[in-house]
Structure 1
Amino acid sequence: MKILLLILLLAIALLSFTFISPALAAETSKAAKIFNSNCASCHIGGGNILIAEKTLKKEALQKYLKDYDTNSIEAIIYQIQNGKNAMPAFKNKLSEQEILEVAAYVFQKAEQGW
């Protein structure tokens, strides 16, 4: 019985790794690099070194970003492009594609709880 369970778990793990899209992995890696190069100095691990309560965790994004609950990605994109208070605007530093990738990365990490 234990061997059967072990084989089943091994098969599930193997299938999980087999069907991971290489493109998705590359996109995530690229987004993580952009985030680490431009955002992590203030938002390491989804935190905020300047204003502790304004993290990148889902609850804080819901509280502090306008329209986050109706269109999360657009709300994050707006914040990245325009900045606010101590956060600089990145619309002239990052391309539209890079901003979209970072926004998707932040959304994904927030949903996963950083």
Structure 2
Amino acid sequence: MSRITGLLALVFALVLPLMSAPPGLAIDLSNDRGEQIFSSNCAACHMGGGNVIRASRTLKIRDLNAHLEEYQQDPLEAIEHQIEDGKNAMPSYAGKLSEAEIIAVATFVEQQAELGW
């Protein structure tokens, strides 16, 4: 009986923290999806955070911040807006990607920029 009690205690000790885990776990899953979407739709022009069409419009933190200052919104929302509407040579992905996919790829871009690509 004490073996069963010990086993149950171990299971609860391992599972309980996951049940009360912060939303960061969901972000990690979204980040995986965001990376997949980025690889499929964006990497041709923005591989490694660069920009093959306009070298000054990279996704590196310095260039991204300079560009995002033009927006009166949260940086993540500004990235989402850029993905949805496109601008200049960048096509619009509204209607091509779902809202959840746009959020996932914007989150991935923001996180990668902060990490230095």
For Structure 1 versus Structure 2, the TM-score category normalised by the shorter chain is 0.7 to 0.9
- C-alpha deviation, 1:22, in angstroms: 6.2
Name the counterpart of 1:57. Answer: 60
- C-alpha deviation, 1:77, in angstroms: 0.5
User: What is the DSSP-based 3-state SS (H/G/I as helix, E as strand, rest coil) of the residue aligned with 1:51?
Assistant: coil
Report matched runs for 1:26-45 at 5 Å. Answer: 26-45=29-48
Normalising by structure 1, what TM-score?
A: 0.75
| Structure with larger RCO (C-alpha < 8 A, sep 6+) | 2
Aligned residue type for 1:112: L
Name the counterpart of 1:88. Answer: 91
8 Å CA contact 2:46–2:58 kept in 1: the answer is: yes
Q: How many pairs are equivalent?
A: 95
- Gaps in structure 1 of 5+ consecutive residues: 1-18
| Partners of 2:25 and 2:78 in 1: CA distance | 28
1:67 and 2:50 correspond? no
- C-alpha deviation, 1:24, in angstroms: 4.4
- Gaps in structure 2 of 5+ consecutive residues: 1-17, 19-23
Larger Rg: 2
Percentage identity across aligned positions? 47
| Partners of 2:47 and 2:88 in 1: CA distance | 18
Normalising by structure 2, what TM-score?
A: 0.73
Aligned residue type for 2:64: L
Aligned residue type for 2:31: T
User: What is the DSSP-based 3-state SS (H/G/I as helix, E as strand, rest coil) of the residue aligned with 2:90?
Assistant: coil
Map Cα deviations across residues 52-92 of structure 1 (whole Å, 9 max, x no partner).
11000111111123237x51101100100000000000011
